[in-house]
A and B are shown apart, each in its own frame.
Chain A
Amino acid sequence: MKAATEELRAAPTARQVQLARWTSPGFWLTVVAVALIGLWPLVTGDASLRETFFTALLSLALASSLNIILGFTGYVSFGHVVFFGLGGYVGMVALNQGVPLWGALPLGGLAAGVLAYGLGAAILRLRGSYFALATIGVNEALRAFVNNFPPFGGATGISLQFSVYKSYGGATNALWLAYGLLLTACVAVILLSYAVKTSKFGLGLMAIREDEDAAEVMGVVTPNAKTWAYVLSAIIPGIVGVIFFFKNGNIEPADAFRLQFSIETIVMVMLGGQGTVLGAVLGAVGYQRLRGFLLTYPPVKDLQLAIAGGLLLLIVLFIPAGIVGLIRRKVPALRKFLV
C-alpha cells in the first residue's frame, strides 16, 4: 500500500498532463521546421523552388490528414483523393460564380466533410479489406459519375475564368498566394493531427485501431468516433483541393479522382510511420524527394515506378512501422521527440 501512495504522488496531475501536451519539444520542432523551410521560397522569391516545395507540401497535407483515419484509427482508405477532388470541383464552381477565394476554401472543406460524414455512416461499418475495397469503389463511382455530371463539366471538366486571377493580382501573384495558403494549411494540419493524437478523442481512435471490439466494450462509441475521424481527415484535402485547382486553373475527373494518388499517399504514411504526426510529414517529404530524384536521374528515369515499388516492398517487409516507428522502437529515449 505504501508503494501505491508513492506511485500516486508520482502520478501526473490533470494540469500537468495538459501542459505536457502543448510543450512537447518534438512537436514544436516539427512545426517550426516545416514553417521555416516552407517560408524559404517566399523569402527568396525562387519560383522553381516554390514549385518543388508545392508538390512536397501538397503531399504533406494529404498524408498528414490521411494519417488521422489510417494511422490513428486503423482504417485503410483508398479514397482519400475523393475529398481532394470534390473540394477542387466545389472550389472551382464557386470561384467561377464569383465567390472569393476565402469563401471557396471553407466551401471545399465543408463539401468534403459532408461527403465523409454521409459516406462514413455507411461504409465505416465495414472492416479491414472490405472497407478498403469500398473506398476504391467510391472513388471509381464518383469519378465515373463526375464524368457524366454536366454542372462539373463532365469529362472535359472546368477551367477557371481568367478574370478570377485578376482579383488576386494576376496569375503570377496567384501562384504565390496558392503557395502561401498551402503552407498555412500544412501547418494547420500538423497542429490538427497532433491535437487529435494527444486528445481523449485520439485515445479512443487508437483504441479502435488496436482492437475495435475491445474498445467498444470499454465504452468508446466507435461509430461516432470513426465517423468524426473520417470527417476530420476529409476536410483538409477538401480545402487543399481548392488551393491546388485554383493554382492549376482547370480540373477534370481524371486529375481530381486519381486512385494512384490515394495509393501514393498511403505509401508516404507507411514510409514515415503510420500513427505518428512526424512520420506522415517525413514520409510525404521523403517520398516526393525520392520521386523527384528518380524522375530527373536519367539511368533510372523510366524505372522510377518500379524502384518506388521495390522500396515500398522493402519497407512493408522489413520496417512495417515506418522510419519514425522504427526509431521509436529502437531508441525509446527518443520517443518524446518523435511524436
Chain B
Amino acid sequence: MDFLLASLVDGLLIGSVYGLAAMGLTLIWGVMRVTNLAHGAFIALGMFGVYGLFNGGFNPYVGLFLVAGCGLLVGIGIYYVALHRVINAPQLSTLLATFAVNMIILGVGTTLFSTSPRTIDFSLGSFSLGPITVQNTRLLAALASGAITGVLYLFLYRTRPGKYIRAVSSNRAAAELMGISSTHILALSFGLGALLAATAGGLIATFFPFTILSGDTYQLKSFVIGVMGGLGNPFGALIGGLILGLLEGLIPVVMPTTWVPVIEFLLFVIILLVRPNGILGAKR
C-alpha cells in the first residue's frame, strides 16, 4: 500500500512535467494546425541547454530561464525558415518540414554530443511525509510546471498578444480581417511551443538521465497526452499529463513495466477514434 502511494505521488509529479511538454505540442497544433515532429528535438535541446549551463557553473534552475528564452527565439526562427512557406499547404508539408528540422537538430546534436547518456549531477535531497519519500528535484519540477501553466494562462487570457493567439487559433481568416498579423502570431506560437518543450526538457534533465535522442520518447508521450487532453487545448494537456503520470505509476503495480507503453499507445489510438477532442473535450 505504501509502495502504491509512493508510486502514485511520483507519477503525479513526473506527469505534470510531461504535461508541460505536451502543452507546447498542443498549443502549436491548436493555433497552427501543425503536428510538430521537431518537438522531441526541442525537448532534447532543453535538456542539453540546462546540462551545458550547469557544467558552466549555473544553477540548473537559473539556467532554465536562459533555456526558455533561447527556446522562444529558436522556435520563432525555425518558424520563419522552415514553416512559413508551407503553413497553408497540405498538412503533409508541415509534418515533413518539422520532421526535417528534427533530423537536422538530431544530426548536429549527435555529432556534437554523441548518443551517450548524460546526467546532471545535482541534488536537492528529499523529504519524507509519512511513508512517502519525494525527491525535491521532482517536487520542484512539478511546482515549476504548475507555475508555468499559470503564467501561460495569464498570458493567453490577459495580454494582447495572448488574445491574438487565441483569436488566430479559433479562426485565422477572421483574425486577419480584424487586422491581426497572423504571421507574427504564428511565429510567436511556435516559439512558445518550443519554449515549453525546452523548459520541460530542462526540468526532466534535473532528475532523469538523458541522451540527445531522449526527446523522441517524450515527444510520443506528448502526443498521447495531447490527444487525451484534447489537441489544441493547452490546459487539457496538464490534466492529460497527470493522467499519464498516474498510469505510469500504477500500471507497474499490477503488471510488468514493459506493458506500460502498450497500454499508453492503445489508449492513444482509442481516444483518437472515440474522442478526438480529448476526454475532456466536447464530443465530435
Interface set of A (CB-CB < 8 Å, partner B) = 74, 76, 122-123, 125-126, 128-130, 132-134, 136-138, 140-141, 143-145, 147-148, 155, 263, 266-267, 270, 274, 302-310, 312-313, 316-317, 320
B246 at the binding interface (Cβ < 8 Å): no
- Give the most central of A155, A274, A307, A320: most B CB within 10 Å: A320
Q: A306-B103, A317-B97 are in contact. List 7 more A-B contacts (CB 8 A).
A: A125-B273, A129-B33, A136-B220, A140-B265, A147-B262, A312-B99, A312-B100
B171 at the binding interface (Cβ < 8 Å): no
Q: How far is the CA of A123 from the CA of B276 in the complex (A)?
A: 11
Q: Are A305 and B273 in contact (CB under 8 A)?
A: no
Interface set of B (CB-CB < 8 Å, partner A) = 29, 33, 35, 82, 85-86, 89-93, 95-97, 99-108, 110-111, 220, 223-224, 227, 256, 258-262, 264-266, 268-269, 272-273, 276
| Residues of chain B contacted by A308 (CB below 8 angstroms) | 103, 107
Nearest residue (CB) in A for B219 is A136
Q: Are A302 and B82 in contact (CB under 8 A)?
A: no
| Residues of chain B contacted by A74 (CB below 8 angstroms) | 90
* Distance to closest chain A CB from B110 (angstroms): 7
A-B contact pairs, 22 of them (CB 8 A): A123-B269, A125-B273, A130-B276, A134-B273, A137-B272, A140-B265, A141-B266, A141-B268, A143-B261, A144-B261, A147-B262, A148-B256, A155-B258, A303-B108, A303-B111, A306-B107, A307-B107, A308-B103, A309-B103, A316-B96, A316-B97, A317-B82
Q: Are A266 and B96 in contact (CB under 8 A)?
A: yes
Q: Are B265 and A309 in contact (CB under 8 A)?
A: no
- Give the most central of B29, B91, B223, B224: most A CB within 10 Å: B91
Chain B, interface SS category: helix
Q: How far is the CA of A147 from the CA of B103 in the complex (A)?
A: 27
Q: Are A320 and B223 in contact (CB under 8 A)?
A: no
| Residues of chain B contacted by A137 (CB below 8 angstroms) | 223-224, 265-266, 268-269, 272
Q: How far is the CA of A125 from the CA of B264 in the complex (A)?
A: 21
Q: How far is the CA of A129 from the CA of B258 in the complex (A)?
A: 28
Q: Are A126 and B100 in contact (CB under 8 A)?
A: no
Nearest residue (CB) in B for A266 is B96
| Residues of chain A contacted by B256 (CB below 8 angstroms) | 148
